């Protein structure tokens, strides 16, 4: 008997170009997760992806002498995964995500998990990738 599970998942990149003022803040994030397991009795796979983006204006200045607020650009990404196999079972899990804050923020995430069991043995593969970028400040 051969059992195979495949999860392809892609959280598409989000690009926002609306940060036209010095007090605008653009935030985008992406997250992906997938798991796969295969054994002699069957196979199971789960996957989830998500992404969000928002833009909000800065708070109104209470004092004319107050300098306009601005958010320093920041990016972060993370990923983790684990695989397990023995002669009769295989399992794989992977997570990947990223966030970017600033003008022209963009993130992208990809996760894949794969498990297979055959009479000859088992195999499992995972892959996760995340990128986050912030573009140059608008002039």
- Positions touching other proteins (CB under 8 A) are 72-87, 90, 92, 94, 96, 98, 100, 120-134, 136
How many whole angstroms separate alpha carbon 23 and alpha carbon 2?
Answer: 57
> Looking at beta carbons only, is 26 or 96 nearer to other proteins?
96
What is the nearest approach in angstroms of other proteins to the Cβ of residue 69?
A: 17
What is the nearest approach in angstroms of other proteins to the Cβ of residue 66?
A: 24
How many whole angstroms separate alpha carbon 4 and alpha carbon 27?
Answer: 38
Query: Which letter, b or e, does each residue of 69-83 get, where b requires 16 or more Cβ atoms within 10 Å of its Cβ?
Result: eeeebebebebebeb
What is the nearest approach in angstroms of other proteins to the Cβ of residue 38?
A: 12
> Looking at beta carbons only, is 63 or 120 nearer to other proteins?
120
Of the CA atoms within 13 Å of residue 54, those in its CB half-sphere come to: 4
> Looking at beta carbons only, is 23 or 75 nearer to other proteins?
75
């Amino acid at each position: 008997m051969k059992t195979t599970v495949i999860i392809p998942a892609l959280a598409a990149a989000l690009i926002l170009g609306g940060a036209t003022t010095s007090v605008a803040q653009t935030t985008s994030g992406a997250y992906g997760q997938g798991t796969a397991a295969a054994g002699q009795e069957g196979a199971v796979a789960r996957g989830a992806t998500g992404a969000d983006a928002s833009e909000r204006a800065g708070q109104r200045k209470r004092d004319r002498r107050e300098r306009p607020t601005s958010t320093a650009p920041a990016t972060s990404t993370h990923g983790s995964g684990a695989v397990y196999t023995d002669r009769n079972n295989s399992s794989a899990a992977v997570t990947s995500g990223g966030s970017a804050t600033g003008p022209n923020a963009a993130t992208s995430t990809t996760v894949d998990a794969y498990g297979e069991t055959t009479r000859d043995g088992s195999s499992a593969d995972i892959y996760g990738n995340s990128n986050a970028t912030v573009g140059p400040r608008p002039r």
